[in-house]
Structure 1
Amino acid sequence: MYTIQLLASSFFFFAQDAGADSTKSSFQTLLIIPIMLVAMYFLVILPNKKEDKKRKEMIANLQKGDTVVTNSGLHGKIVEFKDNNETVVISISANTNVTFETSAIQKKK
């Protein structure tokens, strides 16, 4: 709650100060854009890159017999790999096998 009040008061300070000098306000506006882009990179893009890298490593290390969960929420055990490890056959029941792309695997249990 305190941080919201602090942000609101600093915003109003900049808004009041903007009317005083037009060159100063345009400089502040131009300064805010790169700061927002840097913040976006560290808060959104970098964590997504790390998550993607971790998921690709997990997919590369899959082996027969691993229990996995697909993007659709299907749980099963890997039976075999096909097409140069691009597709995987998953056993979801005693006599039921389903073929998925390896990219459809969400996590390994």
Structure 2
Amino acid sequence: MQLPAARGAQVVALTSASKAAALQEAGASATLPRNTDPADLELRLAATAPKGLDAVADLAGGPWLPALRENGRWDIAGAVAGPVITLDLRRLYLHNLCLIGSSLHTRAHFSALADLARTGA
């Protein structure tokens, strides 16, 4: 939450109710409940980000596809909510979406982030 918020992004977090307040304190503009009906989640997300999302950092995975706008970027860095999804490839190429697998950072990146955190930057 802190990194994109520090760069001026409007951050929307999909999370459990127990973590929502902490994520808002860390910089989330809005939080949406993870354990909800997919159709209800789509409606809530559309109300929160009507033009879609520019980028998604997905640490949980699972059977959902983020509501990315044209040229959006979906970074996957985990699969605890489910490792297998169904993806219509037409959505990927017709909307110029970018799907990226990531282990989040190298040791050098983590060290630089830790230094920024220590200084409050």
Bucket of the pairwise TM-score, normalised by the shorter protein: under 0.3
Using structure 1 for the length normalisation, give the TM-score: 0.22
Which one has the bigger strand percentage? Answer: 1
Which one has the bigger helix percentage? Answer: 1
Q: Which has the larger radius of gyration?
A: 1
